[in-house]
């Protein structure tokens, strides 16, 4: 019953997110032939100096190979951004609503920790599907445009995206044990994500070691090294916040 309740509370957020991420993956793959047609024009274009020019040149260089194009468009930009947003949406919302709904939940033969644990497990399972599904879809769809994207690369990038995005899910869930509405956990967690993203733009040398660098699998794409340290740090942060959420629920007076 608790699993079903958790699914009912989050199913539309998950379904909408899954459809949008799959469409994003689809658009990335089917756009590649058109990008290749425009490459001669992009290569001859005068980009100038400065940060913008450097970014344009880097994007053009990455797009010369299919693997670089997929990483720069999907795994370094569109999919992590959308995965972060829907991780926050899945984690936001009071774990135990106020009023009669909370009293009903507390009357069930299940501890508060079990209620929270099932809610967290349901959301993490949905987030895993949001992360790994589009990644695998890119690998499966690539032959349709005459290209090949390794299944192993798709799995690694999908897992990196899941573990890093789980940090934002856990933060939203933690805040949802403090606030009884949907919007404050959602907005506060989004604000944290934006601040981290801006810091990555300012301190570009450290960006690849930050959470969004881990989420994109930057070190794996550039050097073949899975970011184990970043993944471990992200997992520890998520566990710590979920533990904090459980402590908040245990001592909360309904």
Reported confidence tier of residue 41, pLDDT bands at 50, 70, 90: low
Place of tokens 């509370």: 9
Residue 45 predicted with pLDDT over 80: no
pLDDT of residue 100: 46
Rounded average pLDDT over 165-183: 93
**Minimum mean pLDDT among 55-69, 204-218, 234-248: which range?**
55-69
Position with higher pLDDT, 107 vs 125? 125
The per-residue pLDDT for 175 is: 94
Q: Compute the distance between CA of residue 174 and CA of residue 239 in angstroms, rounded to an integer.
A: 11
Mean per-residue pLDDT, 20-30: 96
Is 228 in a helix, a strand, or coil? helix
> What's the whole-number average pLDDT of the chain?
85
Q: 9-23, 30-44, 115-129, 225-239: lowest mean pLDDT where?
A: 30-44
* Model confidence at 165: pLDDT above 70: yes
Q: Are the CB atoms for 230 and 164 separated by under 8 Å?
A: yes
Q: How many Å separate Cα 66 from the centre of its chain?
A: 22
pLDDT of residue 181: 84
Range of the domain at 171: 2-251
pLDDT tens-digit readout, 197-236? 888 777 766 667 789 999 999 999 989 899 999 999 999 9
Residue 106: pLDDT over 80:
no
Cα(133)–Cα(154) distance, rounded to whole angstroms? 9
Q: Which residue has the higher pLDDT, 36 or 91?
A: 91
Match 């349901």 to its residue by tokens: 122
Tally the domains of the chain.
1
Query: 219 Cβ partners below 8 Å, 6+ apart?
Result: 208, 213, 225, 226, 227
In this structure, are residues 221 and 75 in contact, taking their beta carbons and an 8 Å threshold?
yes
pLDDT of res. 103: 46
- Tell me the C-alpha to C-alpha distance, in Å, between residue 124 and each of 68, 76, 127, 162, 182: 29, 21, 5, 9, 18
Give the pTM: 0.89
């Amino acid at each position: 019953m608790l699993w079903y309740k958790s699914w009912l509370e989050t199913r539309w957020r998950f379904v909408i997110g899954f459809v949008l991420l799959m469409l994003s993956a689809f658009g990335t793959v089917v756009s590649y032939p058109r990008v290749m047609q425009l490459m001669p024009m992009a290569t001859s274009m005068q980009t100038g100096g400065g940060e913008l020019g450097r970014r344009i040149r880097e994007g053009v260089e990455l797009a010369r190979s299919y693997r670089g194009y997929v990483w720069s468009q999907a795994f370094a930009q569109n999919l992590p951004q959308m995965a972060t947003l829907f991780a926050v949406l899945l984690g936001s919302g009071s774990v135990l609503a106020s009023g009669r709904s909370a009293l009903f939940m507390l009357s069930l033969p299940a501890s508060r920790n079990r209620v929270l644990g099932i809610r967290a497990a349901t959301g993490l399972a949905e987030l895993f599907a949001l992360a790994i599904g589009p990644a695998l879809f890119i690998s499966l769809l690539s032959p349709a445009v005459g290209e090949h994207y390794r299944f192993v690369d798709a799995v690694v990038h999908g897992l990196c995206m899941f573990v890093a995005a789980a940090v934002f899910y856990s933060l939203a869930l933690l805040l949802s044990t403090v606030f009884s509405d949907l919007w404050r956990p959602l907005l506060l967690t989004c604000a944290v994500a934006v601040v981290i993203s801006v810091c990555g733009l300012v301190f570009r040398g450290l960006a690849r070691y930050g959470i969004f660098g881990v989420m994109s699998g930057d070190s794996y794409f550039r050097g073949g090294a899975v970011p184990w340290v970043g993944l471990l740090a992200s997992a520890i942060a998520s566990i710590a916040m979920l533990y904090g959420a459980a402590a908040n629920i245990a001592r909360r007076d309904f």
